Structures are given as structure tokens and as C-alpha cells.
Amino acid sequence: MPGDPAALIAGPGATQAQIDRLRGELGLDAPLGVQYLAFLRDLLRGDLGPSLSFGRPVAVVVATRIAPTLALMATSIALTLVLAVPAGILAAVRPLAGTSQTVMAATILLLSVPNFLVGLLLMDLLVVRLGWLPAAGTGGLAFLVMPTLAIAARLVALVCRTTRASVVEVLGEDFVRTARAKGLGGLGVLFRHALRPALVPIVTMVGLQAGYLLGGSVVVETLFAYQGLGQAMINAVAMRDYFLVQGIALVYVVGFLLLNLAVDLSYALVDPRIRYG
Amino acid sequence: MPSSIPASATARRARRLLATPATVGGAGLLVAILLVGALAPWLAGRDPSEQDLSSFLQPPSRESWLGTDDLGRDLRSRVVVAARADVLLVALGIGLALALALPLGLLAGYFRGPLDRAVTALSDAVLTFPSLVLAVVLVSLFGAGLAGVVAAVSLTTAPALFRLIRGLVLQTAALDFVDAARALGAGHGGILARHVVPGILGRGIVYTTLLGSHALLTVTALGFLGLGIQPPAPEWGNMLAQARTYLATAPWLVAAPALAIVAFVLGINLLGEALRDLLDPKLLWRP
């Protein structure tokens, strides 16, 4: 492990004896197993250790940083669904139309641009050239626009492709033919019968991308100096603030598991044949 | 010998799927990037770290096709030398992941039992981390730079690769010819080497290659965050981080590394579209 945390806290002028004493106080001299048990014990008490770079408990840093990140995740998912699902339906219903083919080609390109590059290009366009938005920071909605777009770009492309494939498949099913046979028009079939079963793969895709969504927050928050968990984590790595890195990583893992749980539970909402309990 | 052997249905299908402009273009992009990486010393022109403070932040011109950066270094030679670094990091990361996942996947998929359960549980545990969060944690342990990046790429790739290889082995080992080989008295080692490995080789190589885009995104994201290959050594991610500082005054700094990253990932994505259709026609939708 590069950089002894005790030596870092003690500062450059500290003597070896001072560093050793500090290491003892922090419990860093205990065997790894003992340190891990102590970590679990403290975790149950809600104690994630001290953040050396913020000079506050890690739990407090997490508490102040979590809301901006949650807001970013929420806007990214919302934007994805609002944009991608209609575009995917359009591409499925009118597969040969020029717009549909353009949309599908655009998604492949969008999937090949990493989120930090999307963010950089947005910054170039919206801040440097047009001057419409503040470059970086946290606060009102204006600060959420670019990070949301940067994270959502890839998700929009993926969900759009998934929606198209899924709707195309459902439109070929027998019950859709039956609905048509009893005289229901195109839009009626689509919204009354086809859309709901088609949502299952879409929800799955959102769940599969939960990891990307959370990881994306780390990169994009850093790019836009957005004061969320991800940006705090990168700062913590640079400052060798191991307690904070560990605490935030733990929050991300829990968030990842909760997102996956939410996706699993929402299957029951989307598809009435699926029930839990 | 007849002059033309009738193509099998599989071969015809393969040709139909692969001979599209998108697939050929994708393969072309990928080969081009790999060639640039391989021939970097000859294509770079100037030394990528040679500074010329009399012509810093110059837009693209006849002397330097892609312009110069804040220290007057030639962007063309930097992006070319960075290609070698990025391709090598991707190859090294995936190679190390393969060194972990291939033997474990073969043994777990073939023998099942406690080893399978243990390694599967371990890989599931690693997969509870969002990939990039795990990469950042690993870099904080190994330190920014080569070791950290390679550890991050390989350990975030290995669980997916293990699952993939294990799944392919499970499928292959259940086939009749494996039973036949066993009935003829072949040992486990012989069956693995002569029947299972050749059986998974084609699909395994294709899927492993497709993981290259994920690996490159990890390498460049870490570089962009300042946790990857450290400047002054050029790497596409850290070049973009530098470009961010000069976005208002020198927007051309973005172009070269951005196009290089997009070309690599787009190449793999375009190629992957067709190859996945070819290998798994039942897979109607995919990530």
C-alpha cells in the first residue's frame, strides 16, 4: 500500500516514534484480521472511521455528499426513460423510416463514446462556445444538466436498442395478432397490449447498467467538480484518505445491491405474471 | 478436386453477417488502431516529450498536423505513442484476467464441486462492486500508474471472463462426444485439452476480444481521473484530462485522443454486433 496513513497524518516533520504512536492509536499496527473485525464492529455502530482529508467522520462526509449523487442518478434514469423508450418504440414500429435508421446508427456511435468524453464535448459546446451553463460545481438544476447528459448518453443508447428489439419481438406474438384481429387499431394494440410485456427486458437492461450508472458518477462528478460521493472518493484516493475510500466504496456497493433489488421488485409491477412471496 | 466446394449453410451465414460495411469498417478501425500502436516509433515523427516552448498551443498546421500542447509538444506524436500505451495496457489487463479466469473457469466448469462453488461465490462477491468503483479502490491500494491500472483492468474483467468460460465449458462438457471420449477411456486431462478447450476456443476468443472495449474505457477513465498512467507519458485518458484545462483556448487538444478512443471502441462494437449474431442467433437483444 503506497503511503503509510500514519506517516501522512503525522506530517513530514514527525519522528518515527510519533508515527508509531499514531499508528497504534489508529489501530493500524494490529493484524489484518483483527483490523477487519474492528471495522465490522464499528460498521454496526454506524462508525466508518475518521476522514483524514476532511477532518470529520467518514459517516458525516457520506451524509453530506450522498444527496447530490442520488439526485444525479435519479435525473439520469429519468432522462433515459423519457428519451429512450419513445425513440425505441418509434424505431420498432417504423423500422424502415429514415428517422428510425438514423436513431439506430446514432445509438451505436453513442455507445462508443465514454462518458467523460461526452462531458468534455458538452462543456466545450454549452459552456465555452454558447455560455449557457456554469462550467462546474454543485447547486441548482443548471449544475445537473451536463453531468446528467454525460451519464445518460450511453444509457439512452442501450435502452433505446433494447426497447426496439423488445417491442419488435412482442409485436410478433400471437396475442398481438389476436388483438389486431378483433379490430383494435395500431396504437391501441401498442399501448394496451404490446408495451407492458415489452417493458421486462427494458427493466432488465436498466438493472444491468446499474454498475455503469454508479461508476459513471465517479468520473462525471470529478469532471464537473460536482460535490457528490464520486468526486469525494477520487479526492480521497489522491489524499490517501483510506477510511474515506473504504466508506464510500461500501456505500456504492450497498447502492448497487439496492438498485438491483429495486429492479427485481419492479418486475412484478411490470409483468403481472411475476409475483413475490 | 472440384474447383468449388459448395459452401455449408454455416459458412454462407457467416459470410452474409460478416460482409457488411459496418462489420468491415469496424474491423478496419480496430486493425488501424492496433497497427498504429505496433508501429508507434515509426509513425510518431517527433519525440512525444520534446518540448518547443516557442510554439505552444498551436492549432493544427502543416508542421504539426494535430497541433501542439501547452509545452509545445507535437500532438500527433503524442497520440500515436499513447496508442501503444493504451493497447498494451488493455492487452496486459485482459491477459492477466485470462491467466486467472481460464484455468479456474476450465476446472470449475468441468469438475464442478466445491472449487466451482468457491470461485463462483468469489467472482459474485467481486461483481457486487460497480466496476469503476472497484477500479478506483484497486488503484488506491496499488498506487496510480502501471501496476494500479493493470490490476484494475484485470480484476474488473476477470469475474465476467470466469463466468463466461465456465458457462462455455459447462455447455461443451455436456455434449455427446465428450461422453464418447470418456467411454473410450480418455482421462480428464486429455478430455480438457483435446475436446473442451478446442470446443470453447472460438467463442472464447471472440468474447474476450469484445471485453477490450470495457478494458479501454477503464484504462482511459483512470487516466482521465489522474489515477492511470502519469504524465508526461502520453496516454489517451490523461491527454483528455490535459485538454480539459485548455478547453477554452485550445479545443483541438480534445480531438486526437477523443477520436482514437472512439475509433477503438466503435471498432469493437461494430465487429461485436455481427460476431454475436453469428455465435448466438437466439440472443435477440443484448447489452
**Nearest-by-CA chain B residue for A248:** B133
**DSSP classification of residue A228:** S
The pLDDT score that the predictor gives to residue B222 is 94
Over the stretch B175-211, which tens digit does the pLDDT of each residue have? 888 889 989 988 898 899 888 888 888 888 888 888 8
Over the stretch A107-155, which tens digit does the pLDDT of each residue have? 888 888 999 999 999 888 888 778 787 777 777 777 888 999 999 999 9
User: Cell 466448469 maps to which residue?
Assistant: B109
Nearest to A219 among B224, B251, B254 (CB): B224
Nearest to A211 among B131, B247, B261 (CB): B131
Instruction: State the smallest CA–CA distance between residue B225 and chain A in angstroms.
Output: 7
pTM: 0.85
Instruction: State the smallest CA–CA distance between residue B224 and chain A in angstroms.
Output: 8
Over the stretch B28-70, which tens digit does the pLDDT of each residue have? 999 999 998 888 788 777 777 777 777 777 777 777 777 777 7
CA-closest candidate to residue B85, choices B261, B243, B241, B233: B233
Q: Across all residues in chain B, what is the average pLDDT?
A: 85
When pLDDT is cut at 50, 70 and 90, the band that residue B284 belongs to is very low
Q: B156 in contact with A at a CB cutoff of 8 Å? A: no
Task: List Cβ neighbours of B257 (8 Å cut-off, separation of 6 or more).
Answer: B79, B82, B236, B237, B239, B240, B243
CB pairs under 8 A between A and B: 126
Q: Test A120 with B254 for CB contact under 8 angstroms.
A: yes
Interface with chain A: mutation pick from B20, B132, B155, highest number of A CBs within 10 Å: B132
Q: Test A113 with B285 for CB contact under 8 angstroms.
A: no
**Nearest-by-CA chain B residue for A209:** B287
Nearest to A114 among B139, B220, B273 (CB): B220
Q: B284 in contact with A at a CB cutoff of 8 Å? A: yes
CA-closest candidate to residue B37, choices B78, B95, B88: B88
CA-closest candidate to residue A195, choices A218, A169, A213: A169
Over the stretch A165-197, which tens digit does the pLDDT of each residue have? 888 888 888 888 888 888 887 777 787 778 888
Q: Across all residues in chain A, what is the average pLDDT?
A: 84
**DSSP classification of residue A191:** I
Flag whether the ipTM exceeds 0.90: no
Percent of chain A residues topping a pLDDT of 70: 95
